[in-house]
Amino acid sequence: MANEKEVVLSVRNIDINYGEGKHVFKAVKDVSFDIYKGETFALVGESGSGKTTIGRAIVRINPVANGEILYKGKKISGNLSRKEDLEVVKKIQMIFQDPAASLNERATVEYIVSEGLINFHLYNSEEERHEKCEKALKDVGLLPEHLTRYPHEFSGGQRQRIGIARSLVMEPDFIVADEPISALDVSIRAQVLNLLKKFQAERGLTYLFIAHDLSVVRFISDRIAVISKGRIVELAETEELFKNPIHPYTRSLMSAIPIPDPIIEKRKQLYEYEPAKEHDYSVEEPTFQEILPNHFVLANSAEFAKYKAKLVGNKK
């Protein structure tokens, strides 16, 4: 839970496009949110929703077409001087999804973990660098002897931990975790999640956790933003979202997740959602509005009234 309401990352009305001119694809449309220090903020959506695109824009892999991204008040999107760019790299790091593709197969674990340190010469001697690598590996539960090995000699879970060690050795403040557990076996996911939580508690890290699995997200995040087709449709604190899902997309997402309980599953009714039928934006475009304290939903005024009425009706 975020105790201090200090905003660490601020995303303001960003658009992100792929391609140019006639063939432009608007991947992200007018997205805004703030992330507070020490919290785990989850961005949940399905494939093609734009969640990974946003994550990559924050670490400056994708350029932002409109709007801006601010880190601790300073702009980090758009053109930066080399010095500013390096500052961002040191403070914001990313953990990638695919443990098979996110490590350089032809480099030793030592090089992989040290890469950032070498880039900025964040050490005084070779021994110090080596020590930092050893410590990073130990922190993620691997052995120092693994430094001389190659990625393909490890299992998926171990590789993901190497990826985490690589980010953490930079001592960042903010980490974008892009579906860090989706590619892992179910019983291994917990190892990675536990590690992430441990580091957050020890080092005061802030996470942007990108995922498509709401049940995992429920366990680790403080606030959740649901994104669909490039727009954020709902944003609320975790338990509030699960108690009162308002936007039909959120409801369909929750209804679709299979619960590991045979009796519940066999009785379940699937809530189907067809955007074209549910929304009529021909007259009025929707805006992102607060419907309950700290609970926002994307709706035009007609829909907003409808949702409000339903909430009141439920309370009775």
Partner 1 sequence: MNEKEIVETPVTTTEKVSTPVEEIKKDIYSTDNVVISLKNVEVQFQVRARVLTAIRNVSLDIYDGESIAIVGESGSGKSVLTKTFTGMLDDNGKITSGEIWFEGMDLSKVETSAAWAKIRGVKIATVFQDPMTSLNPIKSIGSQIAEVIIKHQHKSKEEARLMSIELMNKVGIPNAEQRYGEYPFQYSGGMRQRIVIAIALACHPKILICDEPTTALDVTIQAQIIKLVKDLQKEYNYTTVYITHDLGVVASVADRVAVLYAGQIIEIGKVEEIFYDPRHPYTWALLSSLPQLAERGDKLFSIEGTPPSLYHKVVGDAFAPRNQFALKVDFVKEPPMFQVTSTHFAKTWLLDPRAPKIEKPITIQDLHKKMQKRDVKFD
Partner 2 sequence: MKKKYIPINEPVVKPAVVEEISDKDLDGLFVYAQKDSGDSEKIDAPRYSYWRSVFRVFFSRKLNWVMFGILLVILLLAFIWPAISGYDGSSHPYINTPSEHYLMPSWYSVFTIFMNSEDAAEFMTKVSTTRLSLFGTDQTGDQLWDVIWSGTKTSLELAFICTAINMTVGIIVGAVWGYSKKFDKIMTEVYNVIANVPFLLIIMIFMYVMGRGFWNLVIAMTVTGWMGIAYFIRTQVIIIRDREYNLASRCLGTPISRMVTKNILPYLTSVIVTIVANELPSYISYEVFLTYLGVGLDPSKPSLGVTINTYTTYMDQNPHLFWIPVGVAALVTITLYVIGQSLGDASDPRTHMM
Residues forming contacts to partner 2 in the complex (CB under 8 A) are 56, 59, 61, 85-86, 89, 93-94, 96-98, 101-107, 111, 115-116, 119-120, 141-143, 146, 148-150, 152-154, 158, 163, 166, 170
For residue 231, the partner it binds in partner 2, partner 1, none, with Cβ less than 5 to 8 A by kind, is: none
Closer residue to partner 2 (CB): 89 or 291? 89
Closer residue to partner 1 (CB): 57 or 253? 253
Closer residue to partner 2 (CB): 88 or 236? 88
Smallest distance, partner 2 to C-beta of residue 165, A: 12
Closer residue to partner 2 (CB): 134 or 234? 134
For residue 216, the partner it binds in partner 1, partner 2, none, with Cβ less than 5 to 8 A by kind, is: partner 1
For residue 267, the partner it binds in partner 2, partner 1, none, with Cβ less than 5 to 8 A by kind, is: partner 1
For residue 111, the partner it binds in partner 2, partner 1, none, with Cβ less than 5 to 8 A by kind, is: partner 2
Smallest distance, partner 2 to C-beta of residue 180, A: 12
List of residues contacting partner 1 (CB under 8 A): 46-47, 155-158, 185-191, 193-194, 197, 212-213, 215-216, 218-220, 242, 245, 251-268, 270-273, 314
Smallest distance, partner 1 to C-beta of residue 67, A: 27
What is the DSSP code string of the chain? --SS--EEEEEEEEEEEES-GGG-EEEEEEEEEEEETT-EEEEE--TTSSHHHHHHHHTTSSPPSEEEEEETTEE-SS---HHHHHHHHHHEEEE-S-TTTSS-TTS-HHHHHHHHHHHHT--SSHHHHHHHHHHHHHHTT--GGGGGS-GGGS-HHHHHHHHHHHHHTT--SEEEEESTTTTS-HHHHHHHHHHHHHHHHHH--EEEEEES-HHHHHHH-SEEEEEETTEEEEEEEHHHHHH---SHHHHHHHHHSPPS-HHHHHH-------HHHH---SSS--EEEEEETTEEEEE-HHHHHHHHHHHHHHH-
For residue 105, the partner it binds in partner 2, partner 1, none, with Cβ less than 5 to 8 A by kind, is: partner 2
Closer residue to partner 2 (CB): 94 or 214? 94
For residue 69, the partner it binds in partner 2, partner 1, none, with Cβ less than 5 to 8 A by kind, is: none
CB of 42 closer than 8 Å to CB of 235: no
Smallest distance, partner 1 to C-beta of residue 40, A: 11
Separation CA 313–CA 306 (nearest Å) = 11
